[in-house]
Every structure is written in C-alpha cells, then in structure tokens.
Structure 1
Amino acid sequence: MTSTTAPRVPQEERTRAMRARLMEATVELLVEKGFSGTSTTLVSQRAGVSRGAQLHHFPTKNDLVVAAVEHIADTRGAELTAALADAPTGPGRTRAVLELLAEHFTAPIFAAALELWVAARTEPQLHEAVELLEEKVGRQTHFLTATALGVDGNERGPRELVQATLDLLRGLGLANTVTDDARRRARVLDAWAATVDAQLGR
C-alpha cells in the first residue's frame, strides 16, 4: 500500500502568507480600534501568528503598522491602476474616473492611513516613516490620476488641477469616516467633473 503525503509548502511561501495575514489583521485593527487601541499582541492573535514569529519580522508596533499600510496601499494602488485602465471613454470618463478615485479614498485603507497620520504628529520616529510612505503613495496617485484624466501631471495648470482633485477627494474621504456621505459626495463629484472638463476645454 502506497502512502501519500501532502506536498510541503516552501518556507518562502509560508513566510509570505504569514506576513499577508499580519498586514490584513493590522489594517483591520487600525480601522476598528485606532492606532492607540492596536497592539502587536492583538495583531498576532487575529492573524493566527505566534508572537515570536511576528516580532521576528516586525520588532515594534511602528514597524508593523507602517509596513501594513504600505502593503495595503500597494495592493490598492494596483487595483486602482486596473480600475482606471478600464474606465469608460467618451464624455462621461471624467466623472467615472472621479468615482473610482472616491472609492479609493473611502476604502478602509484610507481610515487606517488616517490613524497613522494622526499618531505621527506626536511620534517623531513614526512621523519620519509615514512621511516617506506618503511621498511614495502621493506620487503614485498623482501620476495615476493625471494619466486617467489624459493630462501631463508635471505641466503647470494640469498639475495643480490634479492636485486640487486629490485634495478634494481626501476631504471627501475624511468626511466619510464620520458619517455615510455618499449622496452629498455624488453631487460634489458631479460638479467637480464639470469643472475639470471645463478647465481642460472638453
């Protein structure tokens, strides 16, 4: 009789899966409990990872939360890239692009990032890490938005229009953390889409 055993999962793949669980658990806790209520112990429990394994990869809470937000932001960035690439063409494209961006800024990752921004105000070490992360994410989002709107994001005029669009969307995302702002947000996006098209001569 021949015995069969399950194929062994390579160590690298197990490590990658464990880190992904830690990242997801951290973001969930940041959204649910805020930065102060998130601890490495709670993260390891929710992720189903031993404390020793978690501390081996992320020695401090700051290391963990910054890595988690960066990981999820990268994932969301990839999703946003794909979504914007599929946005409809024609007269309604600007409004569709704004809707996709609004979904990006009202996703749980935005609330998690907001917790980091607030905590970073009074924690110098965290502030330095968050500042570098925001520069990276900001450049990526600016480029994606300019590309989706069909403008050169480095050209004076379009550059400021793209930045104003992102500032508006961040504000709408912030408002959404307090209450469901979907109806008002839709009206604002309608008006802003018309403004953007007018500015771009469409």
Structure 2
Amino acid sequence: MGAVTPTPTPTPTPASTPTPAPATGKAPKQDRSRATRQRLLEAAVSCLAERGWAGSTVSVVAERAGVSRGAAQHHFPTREDLFTAAVEYVAEERSTALRALFPHGAANRTAVVGALVDLYTGPLFRAALHLWVAASNEDQLRPRVTELEARVGRESHRIAVELLGADESVPGVRETVQGFLDMARGLGLATLLTDDAARRERVVAQWATLLDNALEPAPPEAE
C-alpha cells in the first residue's frame, strides 16, 4: 500500500479590519444644531439690549446669528419662544460664571457684592428690562415673562445667599439679602441713562459693610 500524503491544513486568514470612514471635516449634526441654537440665543439678547422689543424681530436675530430665518424658526417657532429662551439662557450662563468666581463663598464680601450688582448693570439686564416692558403691554408674552422672572429671581436670591454666606434661619436675614438685590436692580436702572460707576462704587462699599454687620453670626449668649 502506498503512503498517503497528508492534506495540508489551511492557514487561517486574519479578520479584515474595517476601513475607517473618510473624514468629512464637518461636525456631527447634533453639535451643529446646538451651536446654531447658542448663536441665536446670544444674538437675541444682543438685539434686545441694543434695539428693544420693537426692533428685535426673528429676521434681525437670524441675520446677526448668521443663519436663515427658517433655521431660527426651526429652533424657536415663535418670537416669544426665542426671546424668553435667550434671556433665560444668558442668565444661567452668568450664574455659572458668578459661582466660578467665588468657589469659597464670602471670603471678600465687597467683591461678592460688586459682582452681584454687576448682574444688573450689563447687557443681560438691559435685554431683560426690554422684555419686561414688552410683556406689560402684550398679553401673549406676559405670563411667560412673569414665570421667567420668578425663576431668575429665585436663582439670583439663591446665589446671593450662597456667596454671601447668609444664614436665612436667622430672623431678618432673608429680607436683608432680598433688600440688597432690590437695591442692585435699582442701580441697574440708574445705569441705563447715565454712567453711574462712581456712585455705584460707594454704594457697593456701604452695602458690603451693612451685610457684614447683618450677616455676622450673633455672639453666644452669656450663661
């Protein structure tokens, strides 16, 4: 009987590596949509601060943001949607930035008081003011702005309590903090017409002293 030649074992071929998709150089659709939305919100606040409600249309905002009117309406179907969302967005951004400035709270109350007052003296406050005035005359806008103002007001108060190190369980402290915020809003209104920086600086220094005295823990009672 002749020798049987063994059949050679086939060499396994390595699994093929998927060919990566060619880079398109374009951001994912979701990222582009988010970026467009942010540009619209920032442009809306700028327009509202500079032009007021009457001069701030969706078309004007879209042009400033560099997008079409159709793209703007895709994100915000109505004018009211756009401007209330814009004011809320920028308020949230400012709140985040403010907290980041003072990660340890009231190490320097004068600096904290000054930063809180600044919330009411910039473009955001000017934009919000135009929105409030428009809401006082437009029934469709009023409930949305009233709700927005309540949310922003609560957040502003919460941040002030946190950064000032205020203990609201102490009688009168809550009213003191709210009184300070009301005063800051008044300074913001004064700034709309004139450069009130010098007087504002003196008022901030005085309020920092008042808050130091009002928020200082009371000494323990003698036994």
TM-score, structure 1 as length reference: 0.91
What is the CA deviation profile of residues 61-86 of structure 1, one whole-angstrom value per residue up to 9, with x for unaligned ones? 11111111111111111111112326
Report if aligned partners of 1:142, 1:153 keep a CA contact under 8 Å in 2: no
Q: 2:53 aligns with which of 11, 35, 41?
A: 35
Q: Which residue of 2 aligns with 1:78?
A: 96
Size of the aligned set, in residue pairs, is 197
User: Which ranges of structure 1 fall in alignment gaps of 5 or more residues?
Assistant: none
Alignment of 1:168-183 (within 5 A): 168-183=183-198
Counterpart contact for 1:35–1:115, Cα < 8 Å: yes
Q: 2:137 matched to 1:122? A: yes
Provide the TM-score with structure 2 as the length reference: 0.83
Query: Larger radius of gyration, structure 1 or 2?
Result: 2
Give the structure 2 partner of residue 11 of structure 1. Answer: 29
Please, which moves more after superposition, 30-39 or 187-196? 187-196
RMSD over aligned CA atoms reads: 1.8
Residue 84 of structure 2 corresponds to residue 69 of structure 1: no
User: What are structure 2's unaligned runs of at least 5 residues?
Assistant: 1-21, 218-223
Higher helix share: 1
Contact conserved, 1:120 with 1:127, CA < 8 A, in 2? yes
Match of 1:140 in 2: 155
Residue 197 of structure 1: aligned partner = 212
Instruction: Map 1:107-118 to 2 at 5 A.
Output: 107-118=122-133
Q: Work out whether residues 99 and 163 of structure 2, in 8 Å CA contact, stay in contact via their aligned partners in 1.
A: no
Contact 1:72/1:109, CA 8 A, preserved across alignment:
yes
The percentage of aligned residue pairs carrying the same residue is 46
